Amino acid sequence: MAQHKIDFTKDGGLPVALTTIDNVVNWGRSNSLWALTYGLACCGIEMMASGASRYDFDRFGTIFRASPRQSELMIVAGTLTKKHAEFIKRLYDQMAEPRWVISMGSCANTGGMFNTYATVQGVDRVIPVDLYLPGCAPRPETLQYGVMMLQQRIRKEKANRSLKPKRLM
Partner 1 sequence: MQQPNRLRPFFENITFDRDDNELVLNFGPQHPSAHGQLRLMLHLQQEQIVKSHPDIGYLHRGMEKMAENMIYNEFLPTTDRMDYIAASSNNYGFALAVEKLINVEVPRRAKVIRMLLLETNRLMSHLFWLATTALDIGAMTVFLYAFREREYLMDLVEDYCGARLTHSAVRIGGVPLDLPDNFLTDLRKFLDKLPENIKDYEDLLDQNRIWKMRMENVGTISKEMALDWGCSGPMLRASGVNWDIRKEEPYELYDEVDFDVPFSDKGDNYARYKLYMEEMRQSARILYQVIDMYAGTSPELMAHAPKFISPSKIEMMTQNYSLQQHFVLVTQGMRPPVGEVYVPTESPKGELGFYINSQGGPYPYKLKMRAPSFWHTGILTDLLPGHYIPDVVSIIGTTNIVFGEIDR
Return d(Cα 140, Cα 123) in angstroms, integer. Answer: 20
Footprint on this chain of partner 1 (rule: CB under 8 A): 37-42, 44-46, 48-49, 52-54, 64, 66, 78-79, 81-88, 91, 113-114, 116-120, 125-126, 136-137, 139
Partner that binds at residue 106, options partner 1, ligand SF4, none, CB closer than 5 to 8 Å by kind: ligand SF4
Q: In 15-105, which residue ranges form alpha helices assigned H by DSSP?
A: 21-31, 42-51, 82-94
Q: What letter does residue 23 receive in the DSSP assignment?
A: H
**Beta-strand (E) ranges in the chain?**
35-36, 64-65, 73-77, 100-104, 131-133
Is 136 near ligand SF4 (CB under 6 A)? Answer: yes
Under rule CB under 6 A, which residues in 45-74 are in contact with ligand SF4? Answer: none
Is 140 near ligand SF4 (CB under 6 A)? Answer: no
Contact stretch for ligand SF4 (CB under 6 A) within 31-39, 60-68, 105-113, 122-130? 105-113
Return d(Cα 110, Cα 133) in angstroms, integer. Answer: 11
Q: What letter does residue 66 receive in the DSSP assignment?
A: S
Contact stretch for ligand SF4 (CB under 6 A) within 23-31, 65-73, 81-89, 103-111? 103-111
Residue 94 Cβ vs partner 1, minimum distance, rounded to whole Å = 11
Closest CA to 33 of 140, 133, 148, 127: 148
Residue 164 Cβ vs partner 1, minimum distance, rounded to whole Å = 24
Return d(Cα 37, Cα 64) in angstroms, integer. Answer: 6
Q: Which is nearer to partner 1, 54 or 164 (CB)?
A: 54
Binding site for ligand SF4 (CB under 6 A): 41-43, 78-79, 105-107, 112, 136-137
